[in-house]
Amino acid sequence: MVRRKLPSLLRGAYNVIQANAPGAQQRAPVQLGAAALQQHQQQPSHLEQVRGKAQAAATATRSQSIPTLSIPVADIKTDLYGAVSAVNENDVVQEGVFENVDGKRQEDGRYARFTEEISAFIPKDRQYTDPVRTFAYGTDASFYRLNPKLVVKVHNEEEIRRIAPIAKKHGVPITFRAAGTSLSGQAVTDSVLLKLSHTGKNFRNYKVHGDGSLITVEPGLIGGEVNRILANHAKVNKLPIQYKIGPDPSSIDSSMIGGIVSNNSSGMCCGVSQNTYHTLKDMRVVFVDGTVLDTADPKSCESFMQTHKELCDGVVDIARRVQSDQQLTSLIRRKFAIKCTTGYSLNALVDFPLDNPIEIIKHLMIGSEGTFGFVSQATYNTVPEWPHKASAFILFPDVRAACEAASVLRNETAVDAVELFDRASLRECEADENMTRLMPEITGADPMAASLLIECRGQTDEALQERIDEVQRSLARSKLPLGAKAKDPKMVEDYKFYRDMKDAKVFWDFRKGLIPIVGGARERGTSMLIEDVACPVDKLGDMMIDLIEMFKNYGYDDASCFGHALEGNLHLVFSQGFRNKAEVQRFADMMEEMCYIVATKNSGSLKGEHGTGRNMAPFVEMEWGTKAYELMWELKHLFDPTMTINPGVVLNRDPDLHMKNLKTAPAASPIVDRCIECGFCESNCPSKDLSLTPRQRITVFREMHRLNTLPNPSPVEKERYQQMKEAYEYDGLDTCAADGMCQEKCPVKINTGDLVKQIRSDQMTSEGRASAVATWMANHFNVINSGVPRVLDTISFFHSILGPKPLQFISSWLNKMSNHMIPEWNPYLPKGASPLKAPLPPAPAPASRIPRKVVYLPSCVTRMMGPSASDTEKESVHDKLMSLFAKAGYEVIIPKEVDSQCCGMIFNSRGFKDAAASKGAALQKALLSASEDGKLPIVVDTSPCLSQIKASISEPQLRFALYEPVEFIRHFLVDKLEFEKVRDTVAIHVPCSSKKMGIEDAFTMLAGMCAHEVVPTGVPCCGMAGDRGLRYPELTGSSLQHMNLPKDCKDGYSTSRTCEMSLSNHAGINFRGMVYLIDEATKAKKVADSSAHAA
């Protein structure tokens, strides 16, 4: 392929800097076609005029001002890892010859020498070269695939400090990886990946300073975690102002500080002024030679300027040249007036004086994507999180009107956030029940309709109302058309500003998940691509119409354009296959035209906030011009002269880089085919520090499926598949809790646990003996029910006689010998449960009161397992719940043959679907009979069991009759009991199933009625998964290492007996059912309330 001719047609940005030179008023307007020019200039007098016929305008504009741009793709190739690349004449790879270029980093002995040297301080169990871990850990959210030769889990700054100079010495490129949510290919490598995420408590330290207006954090903390830390600091210390970090990317609950700093991430509300560049106070940086610079320490800064005089002088020299070049300075200031993460942060060269090289270096590090050094610590100046907020979702009949409204709001108001949705995005809204509930007019909107999601904030309610009034006045004065349909115009007052956060959250949650949601709706077998562009807000309408028409011309019928309208920042999301040369050619042509539209025609940023990565590296010169581009190369050579740190990212001389190592997404299973590998799920996964995350399970499963379905696999591919299959058994299947918490974070609601259960089920179909045993157990469950308590009591007896060490040793040995079939003992293993007693008749009730009846299903877990031997409580869960029913005057009905009943989870989680179905059907029949066909409420005392029952029943009337204990007490018993606070501090753990049912607030409320302080465990999932945590104790150990309870907390409560065992073992305190706490803290009301809830 030929080198793109940058100086002529495509260079763009530098060619218009004269407009910003001294004396120039403004840049010459973009030349529009006649129809577009008329629409652009005309002041609308009524609705039909303003709508403007956007399609015709776009067509006229394109025909006169957008050239045909194409670089022919000669051929494509697929590598060993399934990545597709356009091929050119320079892509010859010589076996055993190392070249520091993607795809050509061959082992010539350097990697062996590097590995040997780092093994002196990095243990082998943190070095990964196997096909599963390298493929899984090498995956990020971008559409690029490079497979690392070695992945190292690093634990601290000191290890980075020692590794970097070793890598430099041996010429081994290294890439740093945090959460892997970046989208431009900046965090992938085929060399050595240094992984700081999912390494336990490492890189997760923080310090809140004073009132919270300053916080120091390490790179392994998730952005949303930092905000919750700040919120808790304000709450605990009763501070008048709550703070948050400035950057607020839509991935804030998944992306980590390391990536937020390295990409200069911004987001929906922070704009330019609150991004990391403008809010970071100090940092610690590890450079390629192992030197650490702490910009908050004057001694460190002084020492650095002496030991790295050449670097400091070089940076100052470049800054001096830039500051003396008025045209270049003007270009830089204009570029960074809007969002721009294309190339390096050249604004650092003009924003700070020449006598302060440390400040320049510090800000150059921001947005450098790990190519200048490693940021091991960052101190942020935080921003206020005002408590009063309101959001409105305002619809417009066409895109241009929405964009003009955004410009009005930017120029005339102090609005806090304005998000733009195009018609394709609104179609996704139509499929969202909550969105259509709040905004029914979305359905059937005009073909070019658009919307603005507007948020106003205030320190007080009065200040908030002033902001709202200001927005409404400005939009009314603009006389822009409102409403989803031009024929049905609306007034600005028709659009409510929602102050209730439950309603406003519907809008913002949808917006945060829009990129993955649109990507999840793509054609099976295609990848989701996302481009991230920006332009001056007054050009947003023109650029957006051009881009919509571009997508239409290239056949991207599913493309969506949406983003941060207040900053002129658009996200372009579309599906793209890389299955043949024609698809790669289409992608190449579209990229050329898109870059022309954005950078040349509209003087915009090819990357507004997602970083340059590999995706835009070939186009940096096009956007910035040759002079600025070469300055960037000078900076790279100053910071990393040996090209050791993340080479090929941000800057790359290969004009076809964006068409190489393209990640495919082969269809493998309908359960997970919609996955876009965004990584949002990972923070909820209990095995993330141990083995694989949901994203990683899916991507490895896809690769195994691809390898297994190759028509003519090579011997290498056959061997690779076999190795992956064997490793996946533990990494992918055995250590998956299959609890579905990943689904809660997944924007397209994929439950990776369902995939794992399906694989287990498929495996069991060939295991006739195991299936027969499962069927026998299901048919004779009463035997299991009566036998388990005796076994538990026997084990408890031997514990009292022998002590813990022999039991621990013997059970651990048996666990290994049985391939994890026999559970490991721990000191909090329960004794057998007490026998279930027949319900007592209810106390006499006033004749005027409706009789209170409830069906109580004690789960098989609570029928078998009582408290642990060390617990001061001796009664079982069913005893406590019966006590609460009696206090509230309820008649209790126990389903028939309860000793034989089971929800089926124990079978379903292991893949025995037939056995699970038979138990579920039998239980459904018993519950229908006991509840009079669902007329009576049914309480199931174990939350996971209730979740399983709800998922398996076929009778809808039962679904609405089922309650777990906390939910039932909240709705039916609170008004019938008197509460007293009986504890100072208690911990609560809301099981995964309860979180999924949305009853976390009820947990906190009831615990708060019984104790003065309530502390959540902060762990999304304990990893117990029935008995899996006993059979694989490392799973719960990995998950619960993040539990951090106060020292004065002596009790913990939950609603899952198995989870409570695991929580107790790792917290060192007894966790038990919430009903224990509530029973202790309550007594029956003295006077019955005649208006009490009827059952």
- pLDDT digit string, tens, across residues 665-680: 999 999 999 999 999 9
Structure confidence by residue, pLDDT tens digits, 163-207: 999 999 999 999 999 999 999 999 999 999 999 999 999 999 999
pLDDT at residue 655, as a whole number: 94
pLDDT at residue 847, as a whole number: 64
DSSP assignment string, 814-827: HHHHTTT-SPPP-T
Structure confidence by residue, pLDDT tens digits, 109-150: 999 999 999 999 999 999 999 999 999 999 999 999 999 999
Structure confidence by residue, pLDDT tens digits, 46-97: 323 323 333 343 344 444 456 666 788 999 999 999 999 999 877 888 888 9
Region 512-530: what's the mean pLDDT?
82
- Confidence band (pLDDT; 50, 70, 90) for 1071? very high
Is pLDDT at 24 greater than 60 in this prediction?
Answer: no
CA distance 760 to 752: 13
Task: Report angle CA 488, 489, 492 to the nearest 5 degrees.
Answer: 140
Is pLDDT at 37 greater than 50 in this prediction?
Answer: no
8 Å CB contact between 285 and 164: no
pLDDT at residue 418, as a whole number: 96
pLDDT at residue 1094, as a whole number: 40
Region 21-37: what's the mean pLDDT?
30
Is pLDDT at 720 greater than 60 in this prediction?
Answer: yes
Structure confidence by residue, pLDDT tens digits, 625-647: 999 999 999 999 999 999 999 99
Any idea which of 318-322, 819-823, 974-978 has the lowest mean pLDDT? 819-823
Angle, helices 752-765/694-708, rounded to nearest 10 degrees = 40
Region 440-466: what's the mean pLDDT?
95
CA distance 560 to 575: 10
- Above pLDDT 90, what percent of the chain? 82
8 Å CB contact between 604 and 611: no
pLDDT at residue 769, as a whole number: 82
Structure confidence by residue, pLDDT tens digits, 273-332: 999 999 999 999 999 999 999 999 999 999 999 999 999 999 999 999 999 999 999 999
Structure confidence by residue, pLDDT tens digits, 746-795: 988 999 999 999 999 888 877 778 888 889 999 999 999 999 999 999 99
8 Å CB contact between 529 and 665: no
Exposure string of 554-587, with b = 16+ CB inside 10 Å and e = fewer, is bebebbbbbbbbbbbbbbbbbbbbbeebebbbbb
Is pLDDT at 838 greater than 80 in this prediction?
Answer: yes
Any idea which of 344-348, 465-469, 526-530, 658-662 has the lowest mean pLDDT? 526-530
> Could you give the maximum distance between any two Cα atoms of the chain, in Å?
94
pLDDT at residue 449, as a whole number: 96
pLDDT at residue 725, as a whole number: 97
CA distance 266 to 264: 6
Per residue, the 3-state secondary structure of 20-53, as one string, reads HCCCCCCCCCCCCCHHHHHHHHCCCCCHHHHHCC
- Confidence band (pLDDT; 50, 70, 90) for 35? very low
Identify the bridge partners of residue 521 per DSSP, sorted by sequence position.
none
Is pLDDT at 104 greater than 90 in this prediction?
Answer: yes
Of 156, 146, 168, 149, which Cα lies nearest the Cα of 102?
Answer: 146
Secondary structure class of 992 (helix, strand, coil)? helix
Is pLDDT at 514 greater than 90 in this prediction?
Answer: no
8 Å CB contact between 504 and 389: yes
Is pLDDT at 44 greater than 50 in this prediction?
Answer: no
Q: How far is CA 849 from the centre of its chain?
A: 50
Which DSSP helix (H) or strand (E) runs through 451?
Answer: strand 450-458
pLDDT at residue 1030, as a whole number: 94
Of 1075, 1070, 1076, 1074, which Cα lies nearest the Cα of 826?
Answer: 1070
Cβ neighbors of 526 (< 8 A, separation 6 or more) are 575, 576, 577, 665
The conformation of residue 64, written as its DSSP 8-state character, comes to H
Any idea which of 296-305, 420-429, 477-486, 722-731 has the lowest mean pLDDT? 420-429
Any idea which of 17-21, 257-261, 459-463 has the lowest mean pLDDT? 17-21
Average pLDDT taken over every residue of the chain: 90
Structure confidence by residue, pLDDT tens digits, 553-567: 999 999 999 999 999
8 Å CB contact between 984 and 1013: yes
- Confidence band (pLDDT; 50, 70, 90) for 536? very high
pLDDT at residue 1086, as a whole number: 80
Is pLDDT at 903 greater than 60 in this prediction?
Answer: yes
Instruction: Identify how many contiguous H helices and E strands the chain contains and give both numbers.
Output: 44, 31
Q: Which amino acid is at 247?
A: P
Region 909-930: what's the mean pLDDT?
92
pLDDT at residue 342, as a whole number: 98
Region 866-887: what's the mean pLDDT?
94
CA distance 131 to 142: 20
Region 510-518: what's the mean pLDDT?
80
8 Å CB contact between 192 and 150: yes
Per-residue CA distances from 1027 to 106, 186, 829 (Å): 45, 40, 11
Per-residue CA distances from 465 to 387, 389, 415, 493, 901 (Å): 13, 9, 12, 14, 57
Secondary structure class of 985 (helix, strand, coil)? strand
- Above pLDDT 70, what percent of the chain? 92
The conformation of residue 607, written as its DSSP 8-state character, comes to B
Which DSSP helix (H) or strand (E) runs through 467?
Answer: helix 461-478
Per residue, the 3-state secondary structure of 263-281, as one string, reads CCCCECCCCCCCCHHHHEE
Is pLDDT at 393 greater than 80 in this prediction?
Answer: yes
Q: Which amino acid is at 1011?
A: A
CA distance 57 to 582: 29
Supply φ then ψ for residue 635, to 5 degrees: -65, -45
Any idea which of 448-452, 707-711, 906-910 has the lowest mean pLDDT? 906-910
